[in-house]
Amino acid sequence: MSSQDKTECIEHKGIVQESGINHVTVLISSASACASCHAEGSCTMSGAKEKIIDVTGSYHVATGDKVTVLMKQSAGFTALFLGYIFPLILVMTILIILVSLSVPELTAGLGAIAVLVPYYVALWLLRKHISKKFTFSIKA
């Protein structure tokens, strides 16, 4: 792996819990270094004590091996956008539209927040499709 590829990946150390032919399960423990990581806000590892990551692919690892799980940095930014940035833009847009239509402020505020319900339901319904964009690999 070149140094350029390494800087474009988010890395987490973990221990192999299960190793199959085309599938590896890795247990990730959060480290205090997560607080200083530039991708902390978009990473599902931050703030959690332990996470189980399913990695698809054939790897020569055994249960108990220490490995590094990699995810492309662009996938981290996609998670950040879907989870935080787009909902903020959506709420602000709806709020501005409702206020400009002279809707009372309380109603406009509640309406802007209420728009998040169908958004997150849509994300949940599309979770299998979205999860295909978040692929993990292993560096032994």
3-state secondary structure of 43: coil
User: Are the C-beta atoms of 43 and 76 separated by less than 8 Å?
Assistant: yes
Handedness of CA 53, 42, 69, 28 (dihedral sign): negative
- Using CA atoms of 118, 123, 129, 131 in order, give the dihedral in degrees to the nearest 10: -170
What pLDDT, on the 0 to 100 scale, is given for residue 77? Answer: 86
pLDDT at site 137: 82
Q: Tell me, yes or no, if the pTM score tops 0.85.
A: no
Mean pLDDT of the chain: 82
> Is it the case that residue 99 has pLDDT exceeding 50?
yes
88 vs 43, residue with greater confidence: 88
Q: What is the pLDDT of residues 122-134, one digit of tens each?
A: 999 998 898 888 8
Tell me if residue 118 falls in helix, strand or coil: helix
129-136, long-range: CB < 8 A, 24+ apart: 130/82, 133/75, 133/78, 134/71, 134/75, 134/78, 134/79, 135/56, 135/71, 135/72, 135/75, 136/53, 136/54, 136/55, 136/56, 136/69, 136/70, 136/71
Q: How many CB atoms lie within 10 A of CB 79?
A: 19
Asked if the model's pLDDT at residue 40 lies above 80, the reply is no
Distance CA 92, CA 86 (A): 10
**Residue 114 backbone phi and psi in degrees, to 5:** -65, -25
pLDDT for 7: 53
